[in-house]
Amino acid sequence: MSMNAPRGTQDILPGTSEKWQYVEEQLADLCRRYHYKEIRTPIFEHTELFQRGVGDSTDIVQKEMYTFEDRGGRSITLRPEGTASVVRSYVQNKVYGLPNQPTKYFYMGPMFRYERPQQGRMRQFVQFGIEALGSDDPAIDAEVLSLALNSYRELGLKSLKLVVNSLGDQESREAHRAALVRHFDPHREELCADCQVRLDQNPLRVLDCKKDREHPAMETAPSILEYLNDYSKDYFEQVKQYLDVMDIEYVVDPNLVRGLDYYNHTAFEIMSEAEGFGAITTLSGGGRYTGLVQEVGGPETSGIGFAMSIERLLMALEAENVELPTDEGLDVFFVSLGDEANRTAVKLTDELRRAGIQVDKDYLGKKMKAQFKAADRLGSKFVLVLGDQELENGVINVKNMASGEQQEVALDGIIEHMQKELTGGK
Ligand code: HAM
């Protein structure tokens, strides 16, 4: 048995966890400005939710889910994505009946997919995503795209590419589906085993196949855009117009097929064009879904959303050399020597912390010099020194580590003194 973390998972240690916290705070603030509120759903759900929601013919459902039977004999799955759970919650809590629609949620949390791990592809990864449910106004499609792009831009990324497509409504999709079957059927035997099944179950998936990517029939495959009916065409035009008014640049790619079954109309992905980003260039993806709410037992309601992994976001930031805040050091390190002084140090450390100051102290019984060294290594702004002598005189020695300046401060005034020092006297 291995005692290492399972393949495709990672520990996020101090030095990196500050970057995560920073990014998470920025994303939450962005959502606040767009008026998306946080939703937290369970990490596991009934397997059926994803089978129905994400789609039986997708790689996620067929090959990538962490599914197990719980002790009560129920089939449970660790969530591979957030949309199905959000929609389940929306239906279960009858949120569709509330007066303020659309309902705009954001979420952040771990997702699980049994994929072949490589850079940017993990088995446990953290998705940040949003979902807007209850409106099919094309302006909200554009809002979601804008939020997605701005989440990268505001963190400092520049080399971004937005790719959009329309998958049309049910009628358009059926016409396209029939055209795809007509197109690929003569080549059926040349396609991979998975695609032969896809051709019957969900021919759109064939366009997304990694194995058959080079097959000549791929290039000449009928484009969905040729099969959009008037409503779908007009919908897509309006989305593009809204993007134009916001000066959002995009590329239309009729071959953009998403890896989940619930999409119709708008589908999009954001890619990194940064040099050295790696083989996987997709940073995030999303789109509109109309049948999902009904699939989960709710009334006919349209939604749109997107999701990104924080892992890929951090990779892109690194590829573009964007610096994020890391460990910020320490306000105060308490150096003490002698039993009585140690006791007073414990008391004052506690009081300083309760007064809002960040403090640490020695817990290894180190000598004075070694304690000073530790304070230095930790990047402490101030060192407070308390020995028997200071105790006797009722003072404490305060050293400013940047200037080297030292002063004696009365023990009973140390909290106020440090508060002043650390706020620059304000
Ligand atoms: P998705 O394209 O499957 O869509 O995943 C969205 C994003 O999650 C990807 O672009 C990528 O950033 C990240 N991601 C996916 N798999 C992995 C992995 N194995 N390792 C690291 N990152 C990964 C969805 O999940 C949809 N629920 C998005 C959505 C929301 N559509 C509508 N609303």
Tell me how far the alpha carbon of residue 127 lies from the centroid of ligand 1, in angstroms: 7
Pocket of ligand 1 (CB under 6 A): 81-83, 113, 115, 120-122, 125, 127, 129, 131, 259-260, 282-287, 305-309, 311-312
What string of H, E and C letters represents the secondary structure of the chain? CCCCCCCCCCCCCCCCHHHHHHHHHHHHHHHHHHCCEECCCCCEEEHHHHHHHCCCCCHHHHHHCEEEECCCCCEEEECCCCHHHHHHHHHHCCHHHCCCCCEEEEEEEEEECCCCCECCECCEEEEEEEEEECCCCHHHHHHHHHHHHHHHHCCCCCCEEEEEEECCCHHHHHHHHHHHHHHHHHHHHHCCHHHHHHHHHCHHHHHHCCCCCCCHHHHCCCCHHHHCCHHHHHHHHHHHHHHHHCCCCCEECCCCCCCCCCCEEEEEEEEECCCCCCCCCEEEEEEEECCHHHHCCCCCCCEEEEEEEHHHHHHHHHHCCCCCCCCCCEEEEEEECCHHHHHHHHHHHHHHHHCCCCEEECCCCCCHHHHHHHHHHCCEEEEEEECHHHHHHCEEEEEECCCCCEEEEEHHHHHHHHHHHHCCCC
Q: Is the domain of 236 the same as that of 127?
A: yes
Q: Is 200 domain-assigned? A: no
Q: Is the domain of 295 the same as that of 346?
A: no
Q: Please report which confidence band the pLDDT of residue 423 belongs to, taking 50, 70 and 90 as the band edges.
A: confident
Q: Is 221 domain-assigned? A: no
Q: Is 5 domain-assigned? A: no
From 65, 83, 309, mutation site for ligand 1 pocket: most ligand atoms within 8 A of C-beta? 309
Q: Is the domain of 65 the same as that of 131?
A: yes
Q: Is 143 flagged in the annotation as binding?
A: no
Q: Please report which confidence band the pLDDT of residue 425 belongs to, taking 50, 70 and 90 as the band edges.
A: low
Q: Is 206 domain-assigned? A: no
Q: Is 131 domain-assigned? A: yes
Q: Is 83 flagged in the annotation as binding?
A: yes
Q: Is the domain of 298 the same as that of 337?
A: no
Tell me how far the alpha carbon of residue 208 lies from the centroid of ligand 1, in angstroms: 15
Please, what is the average pLDDT of the chain? 95
Render pLDDT for 80-118 as a digit per residue (tens, 0 to 9).
Answer: 999 999 999 999 999 999 999 999 999 999 999 999 999
Q: Is 153 flagged in the annotation as binding?
A: no
Q: Is the domain of 355 the same as that of 403?
A: yes
Burial per residue of 210-224, b for 16 or more beta-carbon CB atoms within 10 angstroms, e otherwise: eebeebeebeebbeb
Tell me how far the alpha carbon of residue 308 lies from the centroid of ligand 1, in angstroms: 6
Q: Is the domain of 369 the same as that of 235?
A: no
- CATH number where 116 lies: 3.30.930.10
Among the three residues 266, 287, 319, which one is the final residue of a domain in this structure? 319
* Model pTM score: 0.93
Give the closest residue (by CA) to ligand 1 atom 16. Answer: 121
Give the closest residue (by CA) to ligand 1 atom 2. Answer: 285
pLDDT of residue 204: 86
Q: Is 196 domain-assigned? A: no
Q: Is the domain of 298 the same as that of 341?
A: no
Among the three residues 319, 338, 371, which one is the final residue of a domain in this structure? 319
Q: Is 121 domain-assigned? A: yes
Among the three residues 288, 319, 350, which one is the final residue of a domain in this structure? 319
pLDDT of residue 279: 81
Atom of ligand 1 nearest to the CA of 289: 32
Q: Please report which confidence band the pLDDT of residue 1 belongs to, taking 50, 70 and 90 as the band edges.
A: low
Q: Is the domain of 311 the same as that of 343?
A: no
Give the count of domains, the chain.
2
Sheet with 251-252: list strands edge to edge: 37-38, 103-112, 124-133, 303-309, 282-289, 264-272, 160-166, 251-252
Render pLDDT for 8-24 as a digit per residue (tens, 0 to 9).
Answer: 999 999 999 999 999 99
Which whole number is the average pLDDT over 175-199? Answer: 92
Q: Is 4 domain-assigned? A: no
Q: Is 250 flagged in the annotation as binding?
A: no
Q: Is the domain of 342 the same as that of 308?
A: no
Which whole number is the average pLDDT over 70-76? Answer: 97
pLDDT of residue 209: 86
> 238 is in which domain, residue-wise?
17-169+229-319
Atom of ligand 1 nearest to the CA of 81: 25
Q: Is the domain of 66 the same as that of 41?
A: yes
Tell me how far the alpha carbon of residue 69 lies from the centroid of ligand 1, in angstroms: 25
Give the closest residue (by CA) to ligand 1 atom 22. Answer: 309
Picking from 213, 292, 290, 283, the residue whose alpha carbon sits closest to that of residue 255 is: 213
Which whole number is the average pLDDT over 163-174? Answer: 95
101 contacts: CB under 8 Å, gap ≥ 6: 133, 134, 135
Render pLDDT for 325-348 as a digit per residue (tens, 0 to 9).
Answer: 887 789 999 999 999 999 999 999
- CATH number where 348 lies: 3.40.50.800
Q: Is the domain of 132 the same as that of 264?
A: yes
Q: Is the domain of 270 the same as that of 362?
A: no
Picking from 63, 135, 59, 72, the residue whose alpha carbon sits closest to that of residue 104 is: 135
pLDDT of residue 426: 55
